[in-house]
Amino acid sequence: MYYPRLRDLREDKDLTQEELVQLLGMHKTTYTNYEQGKREIPFALAIRLAEFYNVSLDYIAGFTNEPLPLNKHKK
């Protein structure tokens, strides 16, 4: 279950839902539904959140308990 991770990551950054949705440019109700597991998070948003929180998609998805910061490769 990924949705508890979304709340934990947001709270670890000391952000309210209002602050996060403002940064993401989305409606609070939509994001709240993701955090509560009422809606599936779109893959593009999962990627965006992984980049924002500097964690792996596996961590957000709950496949690992190790956040494993993303490696930024120079292009």
For 25, the domain range is 3-61
What is the per-residue pLDDT across 39-66, written as a single tens digit (0 to 9) for each? 999 999 999 999 999 999 999 999 999 9
Model confidence band, residue 70 (pLDDT cutoffs 50, 70, 90) = low
Q: What is the pLDDT of residue 72?
A: 58
Residue closest to 46 by CA, chosen among 60, 31, 29, 25: 60
Residue closest to 6 by CA, chosen among 60, 48, 42, 51: 60
Domain membership of residue 75 (yes or no) is: no
- Give the domain CATH number at 57: 1.10.260.40
Which is higher by pLDDT, 53 or 71? 53
Sequence-ordered list of residues with C-beta below 8 angstroms from that of 23, at least 6 positions apart, any chain: 15, 52
Domain membership of residue 7 (yes or no) is: yes
Read off the pTM: 0.86
Please give the Cα distance from 21 to 30 (Å, whole number). Answer: 9
Domain membership of residue 51 (yes or no) is: yes
